[in-house]
């Protein structure tokens, strides 16, 4: 049966891929964004152009539209959720909030973290670049659970997402550091972590949409396998990587020195609840998507060493490595 679905965001990466996937499956799909990154859509996707932070613009474009499902990929604060749900009151059958495992505020963990273990408390060092984002996401989750528990909502927490379309170029960031022959700097405390690839995100979100068994639930979604630095880098970068090329530094020392990685590795998460809900969805292994994603990024971004910001960041990294070796 065809559903009318609104995706907030949908201009880049997995949001765009989800929109295309849902339209191909016969759904009526709308995307709402500012039109800054993508002005035109193919495959019959209906584009609503508005700044979600402008109540007047939102009201004008949504009018009296009703949706079976709203997928909110770009809400970062409570006020954004409240504005959307208050506007769509009675006109949204299922609201899906895309959250993050950053809400655990954990640089590492000694076990796979369960959904109820996020408490919004910063109990250990955590990247100052990500901290506010993570805390705001957690507060937004709590708003849904406490203020809007009378609606059909689902909170889906993802770890770092990789794959074709990743506009951040996370893998190429490391590639050019390995390629220059120098060492790279990593946070000492990080152990096993969870990952997921974009095409699995799309399949998962498609399954969650209008699934009544997900109503009222907060769900961790990730590749059930977990990875460490050695597995991650050797699988993706092959001979370009060797353990001798990695230098470890306490995370707080790195941050205090003004050096930050383009991602927070995060902890490993427990996906038992998801597997109980959807035991027929398999995940793509790192070995299947890692090198292919790197190749896509290298083709998409070109030689990043020509970027002055990249060069400055690399220079700072090498200064810190020299300090600790």
Mean pLDDT by 10 residues, the chain (325 residues): 91 93 96 88 90 94 95 95 94 97 94 97 91 96 94 97 94 96 95 97 95 97 97 97 96 94 91 97 97 97 91 93 89
Q: Does domain 4-163+195-220 have CATH number 1.20.140.10?
A: no
**pLDDT score for 2:** 82
Give the domain ranges of the chain: 4-163+195-220, 170-190+226-265+286-324
**pLDDT score for 255:** 94
Stated pTM of the model: 0.95
Rounded to a whole number of angstroms, the CA Rg of the chain reads: 20
Taking alpha carbons only, the member of 9, 229, 261 closest to residue 130 is: 261
**pLDDT score for 1:** 66
Lookup: tokens for 216:
């009222």
**pLDDT score for 16:** 95
CB-based contacts of 30, cutoff 8 Å, min separation 6: 4, 5, 6, 7, 45, 46, 47, 48, 65, 67
Contact 221, 202 (CB under 8 A): no
């Amino acid at each position: 049966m065809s559903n009318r679905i609104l995706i907030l965001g949908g201009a880049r990466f997995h949001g765009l891929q989800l929109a295309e996937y849902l339209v191909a499956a016969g759904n009526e799909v709308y995307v709402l964004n500012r039109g800054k990154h993508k002005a035109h859509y193919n495959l019959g996707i209906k584009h609503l152009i508005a700044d979600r932070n402008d109540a007047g613009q939102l009201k004008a474009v949504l009018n009296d539209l009703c949706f079976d499902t709203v997928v909110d990929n770009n809400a970062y604060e409570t006020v954004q959720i409240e504005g959307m749900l208050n506007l769509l009151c009675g006109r949204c059958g299922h609201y899906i909030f895309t959250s993050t495992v950053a809400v655990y505020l954990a640089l590492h963990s000694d076990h796979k973290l369960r959904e109820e273990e996020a408490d919004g408390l910063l109990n250990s060092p955590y990247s100052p670049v990500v901290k506010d984002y993570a805390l705001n996401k957690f507060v937004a989750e709590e708003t849904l659970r406490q203020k809007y528990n009378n609606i059909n909502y689902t909170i889906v927490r993802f770890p770092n997402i990789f794959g074709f379309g990743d506009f951040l170029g996370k893998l190429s960031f490391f590639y050019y550091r390995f390629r220059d022959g120098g060492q790279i700097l990593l946070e000492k405390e990080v152990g096993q972590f969870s990952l997921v690839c974009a095409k699995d995100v799309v399949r998962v979100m498609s399954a969650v949409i209008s699934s009544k068994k997900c109503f009222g639930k907060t769900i961790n979604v990730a590749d059930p396998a977990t990875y460490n630095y050695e597995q991650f880098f050797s699988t993706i970068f092959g001979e370009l990587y060797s353990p001798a090329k990695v230098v470890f530094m306490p995370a707080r020392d790195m941050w205090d020195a003004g050096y930050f990685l383009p991602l927070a590795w995060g902890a490993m998460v427990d996906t038992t609840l998801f597997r109980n809900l959807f035991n027929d969805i398999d995940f793509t292994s790192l070995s299947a998507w890692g090198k292919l994603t790197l190749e896509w990024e290298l083709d998409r971004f070109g030689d990043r060493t020509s970027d002055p910001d990249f060069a400055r960041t690399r220079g700072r990294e090498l200064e810190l490595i020299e300090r600790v070796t």
